[in-house]
Structure formats: structure tokens, C-alpha cells
Amino acid sequence: MEGRAAEDVFKDFRGRRAGLIRALTTDVRKFYDKCDPANENLCLYGLPNGSWELNLPVDEVPPELPEPALGINFSRDGMPEENWVSLIAVHSDSWLIAVAFYFGARFSFDKNERMRLFKMINDLPTIFEVVTGNAKQSKDQSANSGRSKSGGVKTKAAKRSPPPPPTREESESGDDDGEEDEGQGEFCGVCGESDDGEEEFWIWCDTCERWFHGKCVKITPARAEHIKHYKCPSCCGSNKKHRA
């Protein structure tokens, strides 16, 4: 890690979180296949660069960083796939918090720095919320939840009704007045990031009513023009029967 401020730890947290979300959403089939119960104890690691890996636990005792849940592959065939993925999401959330506050202790964060770090983390939906589709909606979106929505594409000339996600600056800025931001809670359903402010291409899922970066779900603007009702990878996967 390059720096030792709360923002540096949060950047590490956000990268690892993006990798874990990718493993449990867009890459879930690949992840599922790799979690063969015939293998040894496996751990799911989110990496700071936004990728993920399945690997054996480290041999060091104590380890350099807190370790994620051990042996997640052994329970794969013992419960419905959706429940198994949700359980791993919960353990992944716990691991991310442990790693972030390990760095906080290592860098001697005081009370104010720990609070700043926690607020930045808490402004993002948890991995469990993203995986299960329960990420918090903004006030505007909740007010419009009863309206009929068509597949929406967030472009400069978007004509759709779904609410636009906030800019990254909005999602990371912390207001100390205790009031909830109007746009809080709108993040990409895969990577968990908000708008980069550079005319990023987004697409709206009609089923779970969440925004997704086109690059995260492998949808281009040209392809989106021919999609009447878009369904994200998670919603498509939930309609498939679990393996016998």
C-alpha cells in the first residue's frame, strides 16, 4: 500500500471488494466450478487490483493479513447454490472489514481516522447486499419504485426514467450533519463503484432495478440499443435451476 491515510486503506478495501463482487456475480459460474469439494481447503481472496483468486490459506502463523473463511468449497454441494453464494458474501464482508481495520491498527489510526474510514466503507453497500439484490435504494428510486421502467441506458442523451447513479465524488464525500444524501446507494451492481464523471456507459436491469457499468456486464452501447428489457447476470442466473 502506497500511503497510510484512511483514503489509502479505503482504496485497498474498494479494490478487494470489487474483486469479491465480481467472483460472486459476473464470474460466479467460473467461481462455482473452481470450488470443487474434492480440492483442499480453499479461500476466496479479493485483491487490491479488483481481481479475485481461490487459493490455499497461507502457511505463515500468524498470517501477514487476516485470512478469509477457510474451506468454502466443502459446503458447496451441501446447500442451494444461492444460499451458498450468499453465505460466502457474508464471510467476505467480514474479511474486508478485518483487513481494513488491521491496516488501521497497523498505521496507528486514531478515533477520528477510524471513524472516517468506517464512514467511507459504510457508504458502500455490502457484498451481501449486492449479491442478493438488496442494496439500499436512494429516496428518488424508492419513490419511483411503483412506476413501470423500461431497460435504461445511462448515456449523455439518456431518455430513460431510472435514476442516474451519483458521481464518485458524491459517494465518497462525507457529510457530518447526519442527514442521508439523496443519491446515496446508487452503485454498479457488479463492481460497487459509482460514476467516474466521464460519460461512463451504464445499463439498467429491469428485474432487480439496479444500474450496471456496461463494461462490467459486457454490454456495449450498440448492443444495448437492441435490448428492450435488460436482465443482469445475477437475475439471469437466479432463473436457472441449481445443479443436481
Q: What is the structure's pLDDT at 183? A: 40
Q: Which domain holds residue 195?
A: 187-239
Each residue's pLDDT tens digit, 165-219: 545 554 444 444 444 444 444 678 788 777 655 677 888 888 877 888 888 888 8
Answer whether residue 91 is part of any domain: yes
**pLDDT over 90 (residue 37):** yes
Q: For residue 234, how many other CB atoms are within 10 A of its CB?
A: 25
Strand 52-55 to strand 211-213: parallel, antiparallel, or no bridges (unpaired)?
Answer: unpaired
Indicate if 124 and 191 belong to the same structural domain: no
Q: How far is CA 72 from the centre of its chain?
A: 19
CA–CA gap between residue 35 and residue 39 (Å, rounded): 8
Region 71-84: mean pLDDT is 93
Q: pLDDT for 110-164, tens place per residue?
A: 999 999 999 999 999 999 999 988 765 433 443 343 333 344 555 433 334 555 5
Assigned domain for 67 exists: yes
pTM for the predicted model, two decimal places: 0.62
The CATH number covering residue 227 comes to 3.30.40.10
User: Does one domain contain both 124 and 220?
Assistant: no
Q: DSSP code of 139?
A: H
Please check whether residues 195 and 126 belong to one and the same domain.
no
Residue 99 placed within a domain: yes
